[in-house]
Copies of this chain bind each other. A is one copy, B any other.
Amino acid sequence: MTKSPPAKCNVVTINYIHCQAHYRQRFEELFATRAHAIDRVPGFIEMHVLRPKDMESDYLIVSFWENEAAFQSWTTSPEFIEGHKRGFEDIRQAKERGEEPPMTSDFKIYEVIAR
């Protein structure tokens, strides 16, 4: 698969991850050892995981895509399930214990309109 350079990418998605304080270390570990399943998805270019300096704001997962269709098709792909397996399992276990989810997420889609 040919990867386009970021300069040609006009679609960016950001997953805003609200992490409970006790889960931050685990969250960072999940991404430090991520499955890289998304890297195989057609139309995916690259991603950055951003830690907020204030340690209170959301973490951001910023992903660059060749087009929005590529992003949408990833969200229903086996790679999506594979890439989120450990995080989903953490959430499931917290629910089983009657606890709040250790993280919640909210996707937003953007278009690059200037550089």
Q: Which residues of A pack against B, CB within 8 Å?
A: 6, 12, 14, 28, 31-32, 34, 46-54, 57, 60, 62, 68, 108-115
- The docked-state distance in angstroms from the alpha carbon of A49 to that of B57 is 20
Q: Verify A47–B115 contact, CB threshold 8 A.
A: yes
Judging by beta carbons under 8 Å apart, are B6 and A113 in contact?
no
Q: Would you mind naming 28 contact pairs between A and B with Cβ atoms under 8 Å apart?
A: A6-B6, A12-B50, A14-B60, A28-B113, A31-B113, A31-B114, A32-B114, A34-B114, A47-B115, A48-B112, A48-B114, A48-B115, A49-B113, A49-B114, A50-B110, A50-B112, A51-B110, A51-B111, A51-B113, A52-B109, A52-B110, A53-B108, A53-B109, A54-B108, A54-B109, A57-B108, A60-B110, A62-B62
